[in-house]
């Protein structure tokens, strides 16, 4: 077919090419115009916006459009070339290659990173992969490599071999891709410091690799807006993990108080029993076995009669026969008896059997913590979660009390200097100190004795010159601040009453009700110093108590004296946690005071004489 008024054949219009440019044409109505192109490239004017205009205007518009598109074309015939009824058609000659297809740009080579943590089934790596491939198809990427972390927490890099390998490949120049596709911002990590997540992305981008977040509603194009959104997203991801940690801890603590076991081996002479939601027994769990139904619970029950009898014999040998832990261990080993782990008895294993409260039926938990996968923390005894009489006892409580009294009295005969000399000797021999190493040592008090005598093992370690790899100094600081809190509360109450107010303190929560009009909570905030030397404070507000006002006592470096005070109204400050720097801008520092005189004035009341 020859187009009217031209010797150039009317070329069929490539449907894919037209589809690409239709969305940017005001003259063509997107896919509507494309779908009505005839086999010879005719476009029905009813699907072309503006075809109600005179043909000269249409031709002028198309001529202008021709200057701005990548695919060249010629207008071969205009309205009137052919008609169906009164609707003229237009023929456009597209000067495309012989194969009728426009050039297809090569796809960008990309890698994908997927991560699933145990609490997010909707974030399964398969689901992430589907979404990432859909994004790749529509944005011109070709996935050539996959880095995967299954069942790994995003709180740190520990155990995340997929991300570690990705970073190692990038920094070693072993990559053959130009982009990294990730499902969303949280998949790279829920680091508690948002800057840590930003650092990992920066390491990737520094190698010339673009990072794309496929499920996010913003493009990671380096703009100010995208940087702000990423920071907010990373902070939200970190806060989600922190809130989840608090909720999980509270849930586990509640189960402990109700008498349920939260992990760990049963121990010699005890067994783990699986019970349903109504407390009905379902069966004994063997070593390494776990419950399969979320609503099931685990309790401790006495083990086989021969093991129970042996536990009671150990207590009898220690209390009545006055045998030492080493003597008892040697006796058991001569009889060919082994521990619940199938190992020979030692002084330490006998000592642990003698001091563990589970043998009198008490459920004790949270002796150590590993919250947010940061540091293992040795909790002080007042932080332990305890439920007395939760299990059927194996040892009589009176016998257990006698045992503890003997252990305590054994070390009480030693002076502080003698105990520290023995501890220093252990340190010199072993090169390090732990509670188990101390318990295994001959002729030395137990770790619990050192804890009782010096307030904590950390304090005893410090006195003999041992510094653990993990920094536990803040535990001692927190302990001191907890001791300081009651004094601050009572001093504040006295000052408020002196100002003419009335104060009622809740004995359980320390919440203060002032003049019967508003409530206030006092929190003491530890001062921490970063590696760069800057000061930071984390204020944890008592949000469950809903105080009208929170008085945050910000401690000075060294945590001996207050630095200043923040009076934070609940109506203005709704966050559960505030992170403060030395200077925080007017939005927060408007609530800062050098002393509490402003708070005291809130309670002041003055009697007014009634007019005659």
Interval 254-266: pLDDT, tens: 888 888 887 778 8
Judge whether 1 and 81 are in contact, CB under 8 Å. Answer: no
Long-range Cβ contacts of 507-512 (<8 Å, 24+ apart): 509/542, 509/545, 510/485, 510/486, 511/542, 511/545, 511/547
Q: How confident is the model at residue 436 (pLDDT cuts 50, 70, 90)?
A: confident
CA dist., res. 394 & res. 302, Å (int) = 6
Judge whether 543 and 537 are in contact, CB under 8 Å. Answer: no
CA dist., res. 89 & res. 117, Å (int) = 59
* Pairing relationship of beta strands 179-182 and 210-213 according to DSSP bridges: parallel
Q: What are phi and psi of 399, to 5 degrees?
A: -65, -40
Supply angle C-alpha 344, 349, 355, rounded to 5. 155
Query: Tell me, which fold does domain 270-405 have in CATH?
Result: Hect, E3 ligase catalytic domain fold (3.90.1750)
Choose between 118 and 569: higher pLDDT.
569
Long-range Cβ contacts of 234-237 (<8 Å, 24+ apart): 234/185, 234/191, 234/194, 234/197, 234/198, 235/194, 237/154, 237/185, 237/186, 237/189, 237/190, 237/197
Q: How confident is the model at residue 92 (pLDDT cuts 50, 70, 90)?
A: very low
What pLDDT is stored for residue 151 in this prediction?
Answer: 63
CA dist., res. 560 & res. 543, Å (int) = 26
Q: What is the pLDDT of residues 536-568, one digit of tens each?
A: 898 888 877 888 899 999 988 878 788 899 999
Mean pLDDT of the chain: 75
CA dist., res. 102 & res. 588, Å (int) = 59
Q: Is the dihedral of CA 54, 56, 58, 60 positive or negative?
A: negative
Choose between 461 and 61: higher pLDDT.
461
| pLDDT value at 39 more than 70 | no
What pLDDT is stored for residue 606 in this prediction?
Answer: 61
| pLDDT value at 158 more than 80 | no
Judge whether 352 and 265 are in contact, CB under 8 Å. Answer: no
Quick one: tokens of 573?
């400050």
Q: Nearest Cα to 317, choosing from 300, 337, 287, 294?
A: 337
Quick one: tokens of 477?
């600081």
Q: Nearest Cα to 347, choosing from 328, 331, 334?
A: 328
Give the pLDDT mean for 145-171. Answer: 78
| pLDDT value at 28 more than 50 | no
The number of angstroms, rounded, from the C-alpha of 141 to the middle of its chain's C-alpha atoms is: 31
| pLDDT value at 101 more than 60 | no
What pLDDT is stored for residue 295 in this prediction?
Answer: 81
Give SS3 for 283. strand
Helices then strands, counting H and E runs in the chain, come out as 19, 24
- Look at 238-247, 339-348, 351-360 and tell me which has the smallest mean pLDDT: 238-247
Judge whether 116 and 148 are in contact, CB under 8 Å. Answer: no
- Residue 23 burial by Cβ neighbours in a 10 Å radius (0-12, 13-18, 19+): exposed
Give the pLDDT mean for 75-103. Answer: 45
Q: What are phi and psi of 571, to 5 degrees?
A: -65, -25
| pLDDT value at 65 more than 70 | no
| pLDDT value at 77 more than 70 | no
| pLDDT value at 16 more than 70 | no
| pLDDT value at 181 more than 90 | yes
What's the maximum distance between 2 C-alpha atoms anywhere in the chain?
121
Q: What is the pLDDT of residues 374-412, one digit of tens each?
A: 555 666 666 778 888 888 999 999 999 999 888 877 766
| pLDDT value at 461 more than 50 | yes
Q: What is the pLDDT of residues 497-509, one digit of tens each?
A: 888 888 888 877 7
CA dist., res. 181 & res. 390, Å (int) = 51
What pLDDT is stored for residue 416 in this prediction?
Answer: 84
| pLDDT value at 166 more than 60 | yes
- How is 37-93 classified by DSSP, letter by letter? --TTSEEEGGGBTTTTS-HHHHHHHHHHHHTT-SS-EEEEE-TTSSEETTEEEEEEE
CA dist., res. 159 & res. 198, Å (int) = 19
| pLDDT value at 304 more than 70 | yes
Give SS3 for 299. strand
Distances (CA, A) of 372 to 40, 246, 421, 469, 574: 66, 10, 37, 19, 23
CA dist., res. 182 & res. 538, Å (int) = 31
Q: What is the pLDDT of residues 584-597, one digit of tens each?
A: 888 888 899 998 88
Residue range 108-241 forms a domain whose CATH class is alpha beta
| Residues in a beta bridge with 149 | 115
Q: What is the pLDDT of residues 347-380, one digit of tens each?
A: 888 988 998 989 999 888 776 665 544 555 666 6
Give the pLDDT mean for 271-297. Answer: 85
What pLDDT is stored for residue 303 in this prediction?
Answer: 93
Give the pLDDT mean for 234-239. Answer: 73
What pLDDT is stored for residue 432 in this prediction?
Answer: 80
Q: How confident is the model at residue 302 (pLDDT cuts 50, 70, 90)?
A: very high
Quick one: tokens of 596?
């509490």
Give the pLDDT mean for 171-182. Answer: 90
What pLDDT is stored for residue 185 in this prediction?
Answer: 85
Instruction: Say what percent of the chain tops pLDDT 90.
Output: 17
| Residues in a beta bridge with 550 | 521, 568
Distances (CA, A) of 21 to 27, 28, 72, 209, 534: 11, 9, 12, 29, 55
Place of tokens 């010699």: 268
* Pairing relationship of beta strands 141-150 and 210-213 according to DSSP bridges: unpaired
- Look at 35-39, 435-439, 603-607 and tell me which has the smallest mean pLDDT: 35-39
- How is 150-170 classified by DSSP, letter by letter? ES--SSSSTT-HHHHHHHHHH
| pLDDT value at 19 more than 60 | no
Q: How far from each other are the two terminal CA atoms of the chain, in whole angstroms?
A: 112
| Residues in a beta bridge with 512 | 505, 520
| pLDDT value at 214 more than 70 | yes
Choose between 392 and 100: higher pLDDT.
392
What pLDDT is stored for residue 454 in this prediction?
Answer: 82
CA dist., res. 332 & res. 350, Å (int) = 10
Place of tokens 């009176």: 398
Q: How confident is the model at residue 41 (pLDDT cuts 50, 70, 90)?
A: very low
| pLDDT value at 274 more than 70 | yes
Per-residue exposure over 220-259, b if at least 16 CB sit within 10 Å of its own CB, e if not? beeeeeeeebbeebbeebbbebbeebeeeeeebeebbeeb
Q: What is the dihedral of CA 34, 37, 43, 49, to 10 degrees?
A: -20
What pLDDT is stored for residue 110 in this prediction?
Answer: 94
CA dist., res. 216 & res. 214, Å (int) = 6
Q: Nearest Cα to 572, choosing from 594, 547, 536?
A: 547
What pLDDT is stored for residue 165 in this prediction?
Answer: 87
Q: How confident is the model at residue 444 (pLDDT cuts 50, 70, 90)?
A: confident
Choose between 609 and 595: higher pLDDT.
595
| Residues in a beta bridge with 109 | 142
Q: How confident is the model at residue 29 (pLDDT cuts 50, 70, 90)?
A: very low
| Residues in a beta bridge with 190 | none
| pLDDT value at 517 more than 60 | yes
Percent helix, strand and coil across the chain, each to the nearest 5: 40, 20, 40
- Look at 72-81, 310-319, 377-386, 557-566 and tell me which has the smallest mean pLDDT: 72-81
Residue range 475-603 forms a domain whose CATH class is alpha beta
């Amino acid at each position: 077919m020859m187009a009217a008024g031209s010797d150039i054949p009317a070329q069929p219009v490539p449907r894919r090419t037209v589809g690409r440019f239709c969305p940017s044409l005001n003259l063509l109505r997107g896919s509507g115009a494309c779908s009505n192109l005839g086999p010879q490239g005719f476009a029905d004017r009813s699907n072309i916006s503006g075809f109600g205009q005179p043909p000269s205007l249409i031709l002028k518009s198309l001529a202008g459009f021709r200057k701005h598109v990548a695919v060249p074309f010629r207008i071969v015939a205009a309205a009137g070339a052919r008609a169906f009824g009164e609707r003229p058609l237009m023929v456009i000659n597209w000067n495309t290659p012989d194969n009728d297809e426009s050039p297809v740009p090569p796809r960008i080579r990309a890698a994908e990173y997927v991560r699933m943590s145990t609490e997010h089934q909707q974030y399964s790596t398969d689901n992430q992969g589907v979404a990432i491939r859909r994004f790749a198809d529509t944005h011109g990427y070709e996935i050539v490599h996959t880095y995967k972390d299954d069942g790994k927490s995003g709180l740190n890099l520990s155990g995340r071999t997929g991300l570690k390998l990705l970073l190692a490949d990038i920094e070693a120049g072993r990559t053959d891709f130009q982009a990294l596709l990730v499902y969303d911002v949280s998949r790279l990590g829920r680091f508690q410091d948002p800057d840590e997540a930003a650092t990992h992305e920066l390491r990737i981008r520094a190698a010339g690799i673009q990072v794309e977040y496929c499920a996010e509603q913003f493009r990671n194009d380096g703009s100010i807006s995208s940087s702000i959104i990423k920071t907010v997203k990373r902070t939200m991801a970190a806060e989600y993990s922190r809130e989840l940690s608090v909720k999980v801890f509270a849930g586990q603590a509640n189960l402990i108080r109700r008498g349920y076991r939260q992990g760990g081996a049963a121990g010699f002479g005890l067994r783990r029993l699986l019970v349903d939601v109504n407390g009905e027994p379902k069966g004994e769990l063997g070593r390494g076995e776990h419950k399969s139904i979320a609503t099931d619970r685990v309790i401790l029950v006495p083990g086989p009669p021969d093991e129970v009898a042996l536990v009671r014999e150990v207590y009898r040998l220690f209390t009545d026969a006055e045998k030492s832990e080493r003597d008892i261990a040697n006796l058991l080993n001569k009889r060919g008896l082994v521990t619940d782990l199938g190992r020979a008895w030692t002084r330490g294993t006998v000592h642990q059997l003698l001091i563990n409260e589970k043998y009198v039926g008490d459920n004790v938990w949270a002796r150590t913590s590993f919250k947010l996968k940061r540091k293992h923390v040795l909790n002080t005894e007042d932080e332990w979660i305890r439920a007395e009489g939760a299990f059927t006892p194996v040892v009589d409580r009176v016998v257990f009390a006698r045992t503890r009294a003997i252990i305590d009295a054994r070390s009480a005969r030693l002076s502080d200097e003698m105990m520290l000399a023995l501890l220093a000797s252990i340190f010199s021999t072993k090169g390090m100190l732990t509670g188990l190493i101390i318990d295994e040592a001959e002729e030395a008090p137990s770790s619990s004795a050192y804890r009782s005598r010096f307030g904590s093992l950390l304090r005893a370690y410090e006195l003999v010159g041992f510094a653990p790899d993990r920094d536990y100094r803040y535990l001692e600081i927190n302990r001191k601040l907890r001791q300081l809190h009651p004094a601050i509360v009572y001093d504040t109450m006295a000052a408020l009453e002196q100002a003419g107010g009335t104060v009622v303190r809740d004995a359980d929560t320390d919440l203060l009700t002032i003049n019967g009009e508003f409530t206030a909570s006092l929190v003491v905030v530890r001062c921490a110093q970063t590696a760069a030397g800057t000061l930071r404070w984390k204020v944890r507000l008592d949000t469950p108590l809903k105080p009208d006002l929170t008085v945050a006592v910000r401690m000075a470096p060294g945590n001996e004296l207050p630095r200043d005070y923040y009076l934070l109204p609940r109506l203005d400050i709704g966050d559960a946690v505030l992170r403060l720097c030395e200077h925080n801008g007017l939005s927060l520092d408007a609530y800062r005071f050098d002393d509490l005189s402003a708070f005291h004035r809130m309670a002041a009341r003055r009697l007014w004489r009634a007019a005659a």
